[in-house]
Structure 1
Amino acid sequence: MSPDTLKNLNIAVIGAGYAGATAALALGRLGAKVTIYEQAQEVKEVGAGIGLRPSTMDQFRKLGIFDAINAVTSPSDYFEILLAHGQRIAMEEWPEKEAFGATTHFVHRGDFIDTLLRVLPEGILKMNHRLASIIDNGDSATLTFENGVTVNADLVVGADGIRSQVRKHLFSDKAPVFAGEHAYRAVIPAADTFGMVDDGNLRMYVGRGTKIYLLPLLHRKEVSFDITCLATDSTPAPACDRDTLIGMLESFDERLVAITKGLDMRQVNLRAVYDIDPIPSWHSNAVVLIGDAAHAMLHHQGQGANSAVLDAGALADALAEAASVPAALAQFQADRKPVTDELQRLSRQGWSEDEINSVFPNQHQGEIGARS
């Protein structure tokens, strides 16, 4: 689309999470008029860490915010996968490093979203705007919010997460899918982790039905500690039970058990784990889904936030290159959906024994079930 056409484009982004904030920044750099509508009164993230892959860091470089993101992250060279008792299954460098001229960086979720929101242009973010309805007019869309505000937009970007109202109203009313797992997450002092990740690299311990992730945040002198275990209670925010949690760790390294016993359970965030089934289409001629609204996935591949950022960049690229908004949205889906469909599939496998043996076929086949 021509620069003049882009400058006359009025874009409404629904949701101020990773996808929405990055999309607003990328689309604003095209010259479009962009406004983000966020339902909450303030944007908060749970205490946990995530990995930003080289392709994601490269996207931030293209957006001119690499230094801002880099300042709140720690670099990592590799990741390890180990059996519950500590025997190494695999140790690999992060992929994409050479291709994108950056390595994986670890960041606290709160620091990440705070940085993204801080670099947005002043006045672009409207808080306390919960979407009540959306009408697709064909070449535009009309939004009505619970506070009584009505907005007409040439393009609506649904970045409103796994329980997306944009998706529910226009594309799919299927509910999120419970994974049969609970995730316990806490950020703890690095001094409490017995030096297990002092080198700055991710370690994942795998037992029968339980996975423990230690993700170091060296710049904060902290570690993000995540235990994901089998569960039957699909309540989104179940009760946090120390005894049940410790009972899941019977065969694990005694240091991991000691870390768990020392947790302040009031600081532990417990959530039932959900994703969504792939949906046939993410877009109409004037509305498009990105991030978790389009393809919420389980956390086992660590690709949710990365996919959201890459969606934002791909959407901006498509609008810059296509002849019209409908053509851009079609191209965006064609570029991104095959990738995220596969990531959704892989993430559902959750580093099972079969998945580990397929990725690392010559290393300790069969030992996960036998020793954990």
Structure 2
Amino acid sequence: MHSSDLKKLKIAIVGAGYGGAAAAKALSLLGAQVDVYEQASRIREVGAGIGLRPATMNRFRQWGTFDAIVDVSSPSEYFEILTAGAEPIMKEAWPAAEGQTRTHLIHRGDFIDALLGVLPDGMVHLGHKLERVQDLGDRSRLTFAGGRTVAADLVVGADGIKSVVREQLFSPAQPVFSGEHAYRAVISADAAHGMVTDDNLRMYIGRGTKVYLLPLRHRGQVSFDITALCPDGTWAPEVTKDDLMATVEGFDERLVSITRDLDMSTVNIRAVYDIDPIDTWHSDSVVLVGDAAHSMLHHQGQGANSAIEDAGALADALRDAASLPAALARYQATRKPVTDELQRISRQGWTEAEIDDVFPGQKPAATAPKE
């Protein structure tokens, strides 16, 4: 699109998570008028650590935000997979991308703070819970709780796995339960029982359980994550310390000790969900990014990375295509095959035999329970 047309473009982004904040930065650099509407009254990202891949870091360099991310992250040269008893299985360097070879390990909270911190004051509007989105063809209208309405040439649905934009305009499909729980905590590096000696991600795999140690050296901390098979699809399940201890039975005693030492009030506990691939991500004036378009399981560590790549691809398409509808079609054609494959691969976390071995005769619920 011509730069003059881009400067006239009014864009409303629903959601101020990874995808929304990244899209706001990328699209505002085109000269468009961008506003972000977030339902929370304050931004507070829970959870633990993630890895930002080399290709993602290249996007940040392109947008002039590389240093802001580097300042609150730790560079990793490789990742390693080990048995439950800490015997090495494989070690691989991160896939390089245009000169970048390191994955940067970062706390989720630091990441969203860094993304939002590079946006202009006044761009993000908190306390806006979306109730209705209307596609009017060449523009769209948003209606928020309390009655406020906003019209925009382009609405970007970045409102996550329970996306209102997706459900009202593109697909009624609900989140799908994976048959797993994720237990995540951030602990002091001193509490890791000597298991963290460098900045590299390690995953220990055993019967029905995967344990991740993700160093956050810039914080003097470690992200300690357990993913365990469980048939309970309650969105926010109640789990005891004994339950956690049972998931790491037979693991290296140091991992068992880390689990035993956890303060349960600091552990983020959730059932793990994704969505089935959806056929259409856009109309002529509405488009989906991130988890709203393709929420995926965390086994490949690609959720946040995919959201950032979506934002970059959307900005590229708007810059290069002849019109807004053509740009949105190009964006979907570029990104959907990639994320469809990542969704497929990420679901290959466990075999049917392993699932039957851990909870025989029990079948996990297929979709999210009603709240």
Q: 1:85 is matched with which residue?
A: 85
Residue 352 of structure 1: how far off its partner (Å):
5.7
Unpaired segments of 5 or more residues in structure 1? 355-372
Secondary structure of 2:347's match? Answer: helix
CA contact (8 A) 1:197 1:203 kept: no
Q: 1:75 is matched with which residue?
A: 75
Normalised by the length of structure 1, the TM-score is 0.93
Secondary structure of 2:343's match? Answer: helix
Tell me how far apart the structure 1 counterparts of residues 144 and 54 of structure 2 sit (CA, whole Å): 37
Tell me how far apart the structure 1 counterparts of residues 203 and 177 of structure 2 sit (CA, whole Å): 22
Aligned length: 354
Residue 144 of structure 1: how far off its partner (Å):
0.6
Residue 240 of structure 1: how far off its partner (Å):
2.4
Identify if the C-alpha distance between structure 1 residues 138 and 12 changes in structure 2 by more than 3 Å, giving closer, same or farther. same
Matched, 1:152 2:151: yes
Tell me how far apart the structure 2 counterparts of residues 296 and 60 of structure 1 sit (CA, whole Å): 22
Deviations 1:34-85 (A, max 9, x none): 0000001011111300000000000000000100110000000011001111
Deviations 1:270-329 (A, max 9, x none): 000000000001001110000000000001100000000010000000000001110000
Identify if the C-alpha distance between structure 1 residues 112 and 33 changes in structure 2 by more than 3 Å, giving closer, same or farther. same
Greater shift, 10-19 or 39-48, is seen at 39-48
Identify if the C-alpha distance between structure 1 residues 317 and 43 changes in structure 2 by more than 3 Å, giving closer, same or farther. same
Q: 2:24 is matched with which residue?
A: 24
Secondary structure of 1:306's match? Answer: helix
Secondary structure of 1:349's match? Answer: coil
Tell me how far apart the structure 2 counterparts of residues 114 and 248 of structure 1 sit (CA, whole Å): 33
Tell me how far apart the structure 1 counterparts of residues 146 and 209 of structure 2 sit (CA, whole Å): 43
CA contact (8 A) 2:57 2:100 kept: no
Aligned structure 1 segments of 4 or more residues deviating by more than 6 angstroms: none
Secondary structure of 1:223's match? Answer: strand
Residue 195 of structure 1: how far off its partner (Å):
2.3
CA contact (8 A) 1:26 1:312 kept: yes
CA contact (8 A) 1:300 1:351 kept: no
Q: Which amino acid aligns with 1:24?
A: A
Identify if the C-alpha distance between structure 1 residues 316 and 179 changes in structure 2 by more than 3 Å, giving closer, same or farther. same
Tell me how far apart the structure 2 counterparts of residues 100 and 19 of structure 1 sit (CA, whole Å): 24
Unpaired segments of 5 or more residues in structure 2? 354-371
Matched, 1:273 2:262: no
Deviations 1:184-217 (A, max 9, x none): 0000001111221221100000112110000000
CA contact (8 A) 2:94 2:101 kept: no
Q: 2:166 is matched with which residue?
A: 167
CA contact (8 A) 1:58 1:102 kept: no
CA contact (8 A) 2:95 2:101 kept: no
CA contact (8 A) 1:185 1:225 kept: yes
Tell me how far apart the structure 1 counterparts of residues 352 and 302 of structure 2 sit (CA, whole Å): 20
Q: 1:306 is matched with which residue?
A: 305
Tell me how far apart the structure 2 counterparts of residues 39 and 129 of structure 1 sit (CA, whole Å): 4
Normalised by the length of structure 2, the TM-score is 0.93
Q: Which amino acid aligns with 2:324?
A: V
Residue 100 of structure 1: how far off its partner (Å):
3.6
CA contact (8 A) 1:36 1:125 kept: yes
CA contact (8 A) 1:159 1:293 kept: yes
